[in-house]
């Protein structure tokens, strides 16, 4: 059943080099989907392509803050397959610090990756789905996209923005069967936390494998309805 859902589906996983993205890639590829992946770290990207038997020509180096690069990738993929069945945006940047330590440059960087990057992806990959009147787009605003936390002003600004943007786009797609899902994850143990200067107990976090499994689960859902959101949090940090 699970395999049938994904067999021959055209799936793009953006941020496949990350903790959640790489686990998602493995599961989706096992489901016999036709998988395209992106990342910025080209070495990691080819390792992931190789490990999952994804042809090199379906693994793309991409910085999602570069609108022209996103548009060019969309053209390349659409010229091969028409439209994607599933777009998974697992790319993002983290930063958690009190307001007085948050510089404007860092604020802009988070907005550029987490919000404008997601905008570019949907701007260029959604129209063919809209025309076909079907498809699935999964974004990961995380719980800080709808609940506050001390030290999260800049990160939450980008993720609340993503949340609002997806909900507004959903209004534009109501006459289609394009499904937009927001996945609200609490802390996931991945490289995301390596450069975050905050005392956290990563042992108690959701593990990246389980987070990848949640994305895979969303991709298994039948197209007769839409999972508009899903929330998964560590037991010891339930903010929603
Ligand atoms: N980990 C958590 O606790 C948690 C909780 C809730 C939500 N989330 C969200 O889940 C998503 C994935 O997080 P993760 O835990 O897997 O983080 P991660 O392991 O740090 O991976 C981040 C991914 O984003 C990519 N990326 C970063 N900046 C990019 C850019 N400018 N252009 C293209 N790709 C870029 C990275 O690519 P390269 O490595 O190739 O540069 C990497 O593939 C993010 O949106 C994050 O905000 C994470």
Q: Token pair for residue 111?
A: 């907005």
Q: Is the pLDDT of residue 2 over 90?
A: no
Question: CA 178, CA 134: separation in Å to the nearest integer?
Answer: 4
Element (H, E) at 21: helix 19-30
Is residue 183 lining ligand 1, measured as CB closer than 6 Å? no
143 near 186, Cβ under 8 Å?
yes
Phi and psi of 224, rounded to 5°?
-80, -15
How many domains does one find in the chain? Answer: 1
**pLDDT tens, position by position, 96-148:** 999 999 999 999 999 999 999 999 999 999 999 999 999 999 999 999 999 99
Judge whether 216 lies within some domain.
Answer: yes
CA of 169 to the centre of ligand 1 (A): 22
128 alpha-carbon distance from chain centroid: 19
Other Cβ atoms less than 10 A from the Cβ of 16: the count is 31
Is residue 206 lining ligand 1, measured as CB closer than 6 Å? no
Beta strands 229-232; 86-89: pairing state: unpaired
Q: Which atom belonging to ligand 1 lies closest to the Cα atom of 192?
A: 20
Judge whether 237 lies within some domain.
Answer: no
CA of 210 to the centre of ligand 1 (A): 16
Judge whether 240 lies within some domain.
Answer: no
Q: Which atom belonging to ligand 1 lies closest to the Cα atom of 144?
A: 6
Judge whether 144 lies within some domain.
Answer: yes
Tell me the DSSP string of 50-64.
HHTT--GGGEEE--T
Residue nearest to atom 12 of ligand 1 (CA): 90
131: domain range? 2-232
Q: CATH no. for residue 110?
A: 3.40.50.720
pLDDT at 1: 44
Is residue 237 lining ligand 1, measured as CB closer than 6 Å? no
CA of 30 to the centre of ligand 1 (A): 22
Q: Is the pLDDT of residue 3 over 60?
A: no
Q: Token pair for residue 193?
A: 């936390």
Q: Is 151 helix (H, G, I), strand (E, B) or coil?
A: coil
pLDDT at 97: 97
Judge whether 48 lies within some domain.
Answer: yes
Q: Which atom belonging to ligand 1 lies closest to the Cα atom of 141?
A: 7
Mean pLDDT of 166-180: 97
Question: CA 21, CA 159: separation in Å to the nearest integer?
Answer: 18
Is residue 64 lining ligand 1, measured as CB closer than 6 Å? yes
Sign of the dihedral through C-alpha 133, 3, 212, 239: positive
Q: Is the pLDDT of residue 226 over 90?
A: yes
pLDDT at 36: 98
Q: Which atom belonging to ligand 1 lies closest to the Cα atom of 42?
A: 40
Which residues have CB under 8 Å from 128's CB, separation 6+?
A: 78, 82, 83, 84
pLDDT band per the 50, 70, 90 thresholds, residue 5? confident
Mean pLDDT of 8-20: 98
Question: CA 91, CA 14: separation in Å to the nearest integer?
Answer: 6
Q: Token pair for residue 177?
A: 């069967």
Is residue 188 lining ligand 1, measured as CB closer than 6 Å? yes
Q: Each residue of 51-88: b (16+ CB within 10 Å) or e? A: ebebeeeebbebebbeeebbeebbeebbeeeebbbbbb
Element (H, E) at 1: none
Is residue 41 lining ligand 1, measured as CB closer than 6 Å? yes
Residue nearest to atom 26 of ligand 1 (CA): 91
Across all residues in the chain, what is the average pLDDT? 97
**pLDDT tens, position by position, 183-195:** 999 999 999 999 9
Mean pLDDT of 155-170: 98
């Amino acid at each position: 059943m699970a395999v049938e859902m994904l067999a021959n589906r055209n799936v793009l996983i953006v941020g496949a080099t990350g903790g959640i993205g790489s686990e998602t890639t493995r599961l989706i590829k096992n489901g016999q989907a036709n998988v395209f992946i992106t990342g910025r770290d080209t070495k990691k990207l080819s390792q992931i392509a190789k490990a999952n038997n994804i042809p090199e020509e379906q693994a793309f180096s991409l910085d999602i803050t570069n609108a022209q690069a996103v548009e060019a990738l969309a053209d390349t993929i659409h010229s091969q397959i028409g439209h994607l069945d599933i777009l998974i945006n697992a790319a993002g940047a983290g930063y958690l610090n009190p307001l007085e330590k948050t510089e404007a440059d860092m604020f802009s960087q988070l907005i550029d990756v987490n919000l404008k990057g997601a905008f570019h992806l949907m701007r260029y990959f959604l129209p063919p789905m809209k025309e076909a009147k079907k498809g699935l787009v999964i974004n990961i605003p995380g719980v800080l996209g709808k609940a506050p936390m001390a030290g999260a002003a800049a990160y939450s600004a980008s993720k609340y923005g993503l949340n609002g943007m997806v909900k507004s786009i959903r209004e534009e797609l109501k006459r289609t069967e394009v499904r937009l899902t927001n996945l609200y994850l609490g802390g996931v143990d991945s490289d995301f936390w390596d450069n975050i200067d905050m005392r956290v107990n990563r042992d108690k976090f959701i593990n990246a494998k389980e987070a990848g499994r949640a994305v895979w689960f969303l991709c298994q859902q039948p197209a007769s309805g839409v999972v508009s959101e899903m929330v998964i949090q560590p037991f010891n940090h339930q903010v929603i």
